[in-house]
Amino acid sequence: MSAEGILSYLVFFFTMAGIYATLCLGLNVQWGYTGLFNIGIAGFFAIGAYTSAILTTPSSPLHLGGFGLPFAVGFLAAGVVSGLLALLIGIPTLRLREDYLAIATIGIAETIRYVLLNEQWLAGGIRGLAGIPFPLRSVLGPRLANYFYLALVLGILALLYIALERGLRSPWGRVLKAIREDEHVASASGKDVFRFRLEALVLGSTVMGFAGSLYAHFVGFISPAAFHPMLTTFIVWVMLIVGGSGNNKGAIAGGYIVWAIWTLTEFVTDFLPSAVATRSASLRVVLIGLLLIVMLLYRPRGFFGEERHVSRALARRAQSGKAEL
């Protein structure tokens, strides 16, 4: 492979890994800090992708939309619609036992996928949505536009990381952690457990919607097959567990580590005998499953375990108090 080909692949790799790391940040808000068991990641990812695509694609008789709006409008709308969907799911389920949220989210995710698959008027059905605009490609050209998009993805990932770090280290974030540890104690302390859990669900799903928008505009074509639970929900959960639940750095690192393993296994399967290569997709899933088992056995807290203190200020204060003693 030429140097140019290697560079192009690295741009593709870091862009896709950044998108999955964004998904992982959203899940970390819900599970890592609040203990919300969301297994409908694919649904929020798909809603974000299709919302942005419908709003920004040119007019077409094959599907709804064709509004031709700017990328920024589609990106923001993707987060808003995904957040609203989480709000509608959370209001009736978060007052119930935790497993009801898991049932609701996976049910909604599969419902969304089958609606997108069967309702051709809405989003092209099985043929999907093509012609999703790539920001500034006509101005910068394909190569520079790819570099720009990589910088855009990494910039959005960095902004989300900083914003979530500030929020999760604030009193609001400490309440989320208290709810995760024991919601009855948090409720006895006067905290509205339902409201905080709903806020975490909506915030995390909004971040997932942003990731969906970034994915749609990067690949330029989306179909329901791209949002299969195995390709999104399962692998994002593995990313968070490998990186370290309850740690935003771990969520980002897990996204890059697992995506690297996922892509490397694709190269490995190319060298397998043809009889085995036909099952390469299943072999890749098995390999990721083995990675998950190894991590749970030997590093259950992931590569970056949860930090002992949510607030660095409180940690410094505690350390200074010990020093004085």
3-state SS assignment for residue 97:
coil
3-state SS assignment for residue 225:
helix
State residue 95's pLDDT score: 81
State residue 2's pLDDT score: 77
Residue-wise pLDDT for 105-122, tens only, equals 999 999 999 998 888 888
Q: Where are the domains of the chain?
A: 3-228
Rounded to 5 degrees, φ, ψ at 127 are -75, -15
CB 129 within 8 A of CB 57: yes
pLDDT along the chain (325 residues), means of 10: 83 96 96 93 96 87 79 96 96 82 90 88 83 89 93 97 93 92 89 94 97 96 89 92 93 94 76 60 78 86 76 60 52
Rounded to 5 degrees, φ, ψ at 57 are -75, 155
Tell me how far apart the alpha carbons of residues 273 and 270 are, in angstroms, rounded to a whole number.
8
Tell me how far apart the alpha carbons of residues 98 and 194 are, in angstroms, rounded to a whole number.
12
State residue 275's pLDDT score: 56
State residue 264's pLDDT score: 82
State residue 278's pLDDT score: 55
State residue 271's pLDDT score: 64
- Count CA within 13 A, CB hemisphere, residue 102: 7
